[in-house]
Structure 1
Amino acid sequence: MAEETELAATDFEMSPPPAGRFSKGLNFVLENLAMALMAILTLLVFANAFSRYAFSAPLPWTEEAVTYLLVWLAAVGIIIAGLRQTLICCDIVTYRLRPGPQRIVATFCALLGSATMFYCAWLTWQYLQIFGSDLSPVLRIPKGVLISALLVALLGLAVTLLVPLFRRK
């Protein structure tokens, strides 16, 4: 059993960052943004826990701030995963196809997936127009800041789904 686990661990490979110059720069910016968001999120959670248990005075605003940061962190993370082409996929059918039909199915899936993401982004944009100016209860930050994370994630994912169609093989 231990040998199987060890073997499985060595077979796992991280997908390399994107190869193009623009993609590398974008990947660098997104990774650093994700690290900064994670660091701030960690500090806020620690500060709240420390304040709660050391001084019996929790910082209620940190919960709301952490929620906002976590949504933005997820948005950045999904774009990074899309750029690296490491999103979860099910290739039970496609791996059995010859290269020609495989490309056709991959192209169809990329176009359909991207169109779906663009449509969801459009719906999110409409939602943002209606509810984006509502204020959060504690920090009084417009909810548009939170909703915008979903919009950015959907647009980023829609674009990254199309990237393989334009890569030369």
Structure 2
Amino acid sequence: MTGTRPKSGPREDVGEGVVDRVLGALAALCLVAIVLMLFGNACLRLLADMPLPWVQEVVTGLLLWLTMFGFVLGVRRHESIAVHTFVTKLPVRVRIGVRIATELVTAAVLLHLAWFSLQYVVDFGGDSTPYLRLPRGFFTSALPVGAAAGALAVLVRLPSVRAVVLRERGEPAV
């Protein structure tokens, strides 16, 4: 994709804007927490030679959530990597079909990832982290949640594929 977000109606923009802002805020919160913990731990190591051993497990877990928040936000904003060279040379009807097929395959792959990562969380999510004794599922649940949310975002935009393709070509959607 070119990274430009297709425009939608005013009602959709309000709802999408709220979801995007919430995802962005959660990602920013994770990033700020990670930076502050790492900086604080580095200062403790340097100044007092007493780093906190649990910081690594919290940072690793928050990094999973940060990645999934960013992933879902990227999927919602249509900012995934795509190669248009071949597809742009196809007739409009074929382009629409290719785009729909691509979206369906993307959703299927994400649902597959969600299923297997859910199985991982079920099998190993009850294990405790070494220092804080938190269940690992607290952090690893980011994988099935993010994959399922990404699949949902793809499926929700599926009805607008035709209009998006026509808009990309500069043609009015009829």
* TM-score above 0.5, yes or no: yes
One of 71, 77, 81 as aligned partner of 1:78: 71
Moved segments of 4+, more than 3 Å? 13-19
1:50 counterpart residue number: 43
Q: What is the CA-CA distance between 1:26 and the residue it aligns to?
A: 0.6
Is the Cα–Cα contact under 8 Å of residues 114 and 158 in structure 1 kept in the other structure? yes
Q: Among the aligned pairs, what percent are the same residue?
A: 31
- Asked if 1:163 is matched to 2:153, the reply is no
Which consecutive residues of structure 1, in runs of 5 or more, have no partner in the other structure? Answer: 1-12
- Amino acid corresponding to residue 41 of structure 2 in structure 1: N
Change (3 A) 1:146 1:18: farther
Deviations for 1:95-130, whole angstroms, at most 9, x for unmatched residues?
A: 221211001001011111101211221112222111
- Asked if 1:37 is matched to 2:39, the reply is no
CA distance in 2, matches of 1:17, 1:165: 13
Q: What is the CA-CA distance between 1:15 and the residue it aligns to?
A: 3.5
1:107 counterpart residue number: 100
One of 142, 147, 155 as aligned partner of 1:154: 147
- Amino acid corresponding to residue 35 of structure 1 in structure 2: A
CA distance in 2, matches of 1:105, 1:87: 16
Change (3 A) 1:14 1:86: closer
Is the Cα–Cα contact under 8 Å of residues 17 and 24 in structure 1 kept in the other structure? no
1:130 counterpart residue number: 123
CA distance in 2, matches of 1:158, 1:41: 27
Which consecutive residues of structure 2, in runs of 5 or more, have no partner in the other structure? Answer: 164-174
- Amino acid corresponding to residue 112 of structure 1 in structure 2: V
CA distance in 1, matches of 2:72, 2:7: 12
The answer to which of 26-35 and 89-98 deviates more is 89-98
Is the Cα–Cα contact under 8 Å of residues 107 and 154 in structure 2 kept in the other structure? yes
SS at match of 1:60: coil
- Asked if 1:91 is matched to 2:84, the reply is yes
Deviations for 1:44-74, whole angstroms, at most 9, x for unmatched residues?
A: 0100100000111111111111101111000
TM-score, normalised with respect to structure 1: 0.85
Is the Cα–Cα contact under 8 Å of residues 17 and 83 in structure 1 kept in the other structure? no
